[in-house]
Amino acid sequence: MKMRLELFLLIAAVSCAAGKPLSKAAGRNKLLLISFDGFRWDYDQDVDTPNLDQLVTDGVKAKYVTPPMLTMTSPSHFTTITGRWVEDHEVVHNMMYNAKTNQKVPHKQTLSRSEWWDNGVLPLWITAQNQGLKTASFYYPGGGANYSGQAVNRALVETFDHVDDNETEWRQNIDMVMSWFSEEDFHLVTLYYGEPDNVGHAKGPDTPDRKKIIQQIDRIIGYLREAINRHKLTDSLNVILTSDHGMTTVKKRPQVDEIILNKYLNLLKLASFEILDYGGFGILTPRPGKEQEVFDALSNAPNLTVYKKNELPESFRLAKSERLPPIVVVADLGFNLNSRFIVYVNKGDHGYHNGEMDMKTIFRAFGPDFKKNFLSEPFDSIHVYPLMCKLLQIEPAPHNGSLTVTENLLLHSGGSQRARLSVALLLSVLSFMFTAL
């Protein structure tokens, strides 16, 4: 009888531990996702960043995060907010294009074009709204589109002439978002900043200008924390700080022989559509019957790798895309894919293989549900989505991420791991008891 009681108590303990919810079982905490475009994983290591350093003590830091293959702003941001690979969400470039009509729409103009973003995959805003939450997007890529006819509750979209580095505006945007949380009861806001990407492109990642913008970002983190306190959100707001990709220094003459693709194939004769001169990632549609010729010609070109779409490595998670044209070109780190002439002026760029350390990006998080002083091993950005759903206590839409990768960042990550430990404990106690019998 005594043994049965012990057994009962143990089983009760196991089920309690396994089912323990996040903090504040009744009320769910709010979530702010901030993205600083093009924040390479190591940008805080050669600059004095007291506020970012404080986040490490007060929250969670991942050593770095790996973006999806297609290390570009729109594709990567959309993977974070959907938890889907690029081949599934089909936002396969910053530019909206149609390879059949040769239509090309520049990045900023795509931001409100639902036909580019809405391909049957629901981003977090919409999934959360469908479960009764109130959400907003402040300049976050994809936030300005409609999904199956639904708009984000509140969406601000960057204008074409928006200035990226205005610190006064950065603070105003923080204030606005804080009031959305504290006065209008929004549950989820995604906030986007166009730096340090802009400076990384214009000046290069290894310049004093880049260090200066990182210090500006550090000041805005300090301002954010002060604003969270001022709005009395410290105990109810979780914050995730991340980015879409890194940045690398562009290799130029005379240091290297720059790539000019037209030297290896007659682009006009062999291709009916192309997006080149756009950093390390290029796409081509060969004219009918010319696919092998294009592939062979580019296979001989140095400092790049050419792929037929259907032979793309599985790990790229791009091959299933219907939108991608039949030929994909990835330049070696630092090379630009110039088409005919060198008109390209960037000193830094991205779009390279996501295995390159220069393409890795940052992850920091703090708030009531996050551990403190916790350094996480690196993970793929695709796993941020299930973490956000867990924080918001909503049922995720189908996705390619895994909560097991990121739930150890949470204070009460508990569930599965705690249950496993308790079951192990139960089994050892049982075996002890039976041995004693």
Q: Length of the chain in residues, anyone?
A: 437
Q: Which residue shows structure tokens 């509140």?
A: 154
Using the contact rule CB under 5 A, the part of the chain among 196-204, 232-240, 304-312, 381-389 near Zn ion is 196-204
CA distances, 181 to each of 25, 199, 255, 364 (Å): 20, 30, 51, 20
Question: Which residue's CB is nearer to Zn ion, number 85 or number 278?
Answer: 278
Write the interaction track for Zn ion spanning residues 321-360; mark x where CB under 5 A is met and - where it is not.
----------------------------------------
The least CB distance from residue 242 to Zn ion, in Å, is: 15
The least CB distance from residue 199 to Zn ion, in Å, is: 10
Using the contact rule CB under 5 A, the part of the chain among 147-155, 191-199, 259-267, 409-417 near Zn ion is 191-199
The least CB distance from residue 118 to Zn ion, in Å, is: 23
**Per rule CB under 5 A, is residue 197 in the interface with Zn ion?**
yes
Using the contact rule CB under 5 A, the part of the chain among 77-85, 99-107, 189-197, 213-221 near Zn ion is 189-197
3-state SS, 78-127, equals HHHHHCCCHHHHCCCCCCEEECCCCEEECHHHHCCCHHHHCCCCCCHHHH
Rule CB under 5 A: which of 136-175 touch Zn ion?
none
3-state secondary structure of 393: coil
Question: Which residue's CB is nearer to Zn ion, number 195 or number 380?
Answer: 195
Edge-to-edge strand order for the sheet containing 363-366? 154-156, 135-138, 188-193, 30-36, 237-242, 363-366, 60-62, 374-376
* CA pair distance 12, 6, nearest whole angstrom: 10
Query: Is-catalytic flag, 168?
Result: no
CB atoms under 10 Å from CB of 217, counted, come to: 25
Task: Please identify which of the residues 49, 66, 71, 73 carries the catalytic annotation.
Answer: 73
Two tokens, residue 369: 């549900």
Nearest to 83 by CA among 360, 305, 382, 402: 382
Q: Which residue is nearest to Zn ion (CB)?
A: 197
What is the number of alpha carbons within 13 Å of residue 13 lying toward its C-beta? 13
Using the contact rule CB under 5 A, the part of the chain among 151-159, 185-193, 195-203, 360-368 near Zn ion is 195-203
The least CB distance from residue 73 to Zn ion, in Å, is: 6
Residue 354 and residue 71 in contact, taking contact as beta carbons nearer than 8 Å: yes
| Cα-to-chain-centroid distance, residue 174 | 20
Q: Which residue shows structure tokens 């007659």?
A: 266
Using the contact rule CB under 5 A, the part of the chain among 142-150, 194-202, 387-395, 399-407 near Zn ion is 194-202
Question: Which residue's CB is nearer to Zn ion, number 87 or number 349?
Answer: 349
Nearest to 381 by CA among 80, 33, 85, 141: 80
Question: Which residue's CB is nearer to Zn ion, number 202 or number 419?
Answer: 202
How big is the site for Zn ion, counted in residues (CB under 5 A)? Answer: 1
The least CB distance from residue 353 to Zn ion, in Å, is: 16
Question: Which residue's CB is nearer to Zn ion, number 195 or number 197?
Answer: 197
DSSP β-ladder status, 363-366 and 237-242: antiparallel
Question: Which residue's CB is nearer to Zn ion, number 22 or number 70?
Answer: 70
The least CB distance from residue 209 to Zn ion, in Å, is: 15
The least CB distance from residue 279 to Zn ion, in Å, is: 8
CA distances, 166 to each of 75, 179, 253, 268, 349 (Å): 25, 20, 33, 42, 22
Question: Which residue's CB is nearer to Zn ion, number 281 or number 363?
Answer: 281
Which residues form the interface with Zn ion (CB under 5 A)?
Answer: 197
Which residues are identified as catalytic? 73
